[in-house]
Amino acid sequence: EVQLQASGGGLVQAGGSLRLSCAASGFPLDVYAVGWFRQAPGQEREGVSCISNSEGTSYYSDSVKGRFTISSDSRKNTVYLQMNNLKPEDTATYYCGACFVHGSDDHYTVHVDTRVDFGPWGQGTLVTVSS
């Protein structure tokens, strides 16, 4: 069964850090570009970051650039999102999924790659940043 499971969320004060994990099962993560998305209540899902191990590239939305770092561990088949200097506006439920990017000159937008079916989004992991 193909599945992505996000975890690692929690409650943190502004300026704090969290590391999210996205564990894949049923397929090797290295084959696909995988990224992080977030959705706050009443808002649309937003792409945050995207990594492609096969291309050796990673991208970030302008809203998190310089604060978040995406990485992957092929042995654990897991993608991580290290989030530093968290802000209240980072509060959202975070999900992982297939991704692609648009942009250039270090300004990118991250999008869901609907060509890849990893199954339902799942519950995601909630990140709450208090001011």
Is the pLDDT at 2 greater than 90? The verdict is no
Percent of the chain with pLDDT over 70: 100
Residue 57: φ, ψ to 5°:
-125, 155
pLDDT tens track for 103-124: 998 899 999 999 988 888 888 9
* Alpha carbons 23 and 60: distance in angstroms, whole number: 20
pLDDT tens-digit map of 42-55: 999 999 999 998 88
pLDDT tens, residue by residue, 56-74: 899 999 999 999 999 999 9
pLDDT at 27: 87
Largest Cα–Cα distance of the chain, in whole Å?
A: 40
Q: How far apart are CA 78 and CA 6, in angstroms?
A: 10
Nearest residue to 19 via CA among 51, 89, 67, 74? 67
Phi and psi of 78, rounded to 5°?
-135, 140
